[in-house]
Amino acid sequence: MLLEVKARQQKGSIDILLNMDWSCFLMIFILEYLIRDVYIPQNEIDKCVALLESNTSHFNVLGLYDTANQWFNVSGKGTMGMLIQINLSALKYMPENAPFHKNVAVHYQMVKDNEKALPHFIKILELEPNDPQNMFWIAKCSCLLGDFELSKKHCEMIKEKFPDDPVLIPQVNMILDAINQAENGSVDTDENTQRKTKWYR
């Protein structure tokens, strides 16, 4: 089936006329924008996805976004904002997909936006309840945000379920130590925890 999509933005425009697999079409549509550092409004993605879903049984949004993520990570052309955007777009269609929540959470954490990262780490743990790394990230993010009770809860979960983990247990103890010092008013939690857990990140 033939489809013409004219996508115009303030920073640039592209006209695409293609006759190919629809999932391939959407991937090119997204990558062409992101390569040019052009913001894709969510409504443009929504319209394109709606057209694709209504016209093919081969549309695979999971594979599409996963491929786009891999392309950005390997090519080095993507910014954190782009990577966050494409994963948030994927979550709109697959809200229960743990890998996309993880991508969003990690990228938010890398730009030190722990407030936005934390809900995604919590969601990941709901979907994958025995993942110790997600427990750690919840403990770390909540500690940095000053929610010490939530942080201590997940630190204790790690110590209970994975008492012999050679990497996580020392990190958990550092977080608990940072919380203890912060509660006693002797240190800035954010600075202390970031410094102590830097190598783990």
Residue 126 vs residues 27, 60, 74, 121, 131: alpha-carbon distances, Å: 29, 24, 29, 9, 10
Of the pLDDT bands very low, low, confident and very high (cuts 50, 70, 90), residue 73 is low
Q: What is the pLDDT of residue 92?
A: 77
Residues 6+ apart with CB under 8 A from 88: 104
Residue 189 is inside which H or E element, if any? helix 189-196
Rounded CA gap, 155 and 59, in Å?
Answer: 41
Of the pLDDT bands very low, low, confident and very high (cuts 50, 70, 90), residue 111 is confident
Q: What is the pLDDT of residue 40?
A: 56
Q: What is the pLDDT of residue 128?
A: 93
- Token readout for 125 is 């743990």
- Token readout for 45 is 């993605």
Task: Determine whether 18 is exposed, middle or buried from the number of CB atoms within 10 Å of its CB (0-12, 13-18, 19+).
Answer: middle
> What is the 8-class DSSP label of residue 7?
E
Q: What is the pLDDT of residue 99?
A: 86
Choose between 45 and 153: higher pLDDT.
Answer: 153
- For residue 17, list its beta bridge partners: 4
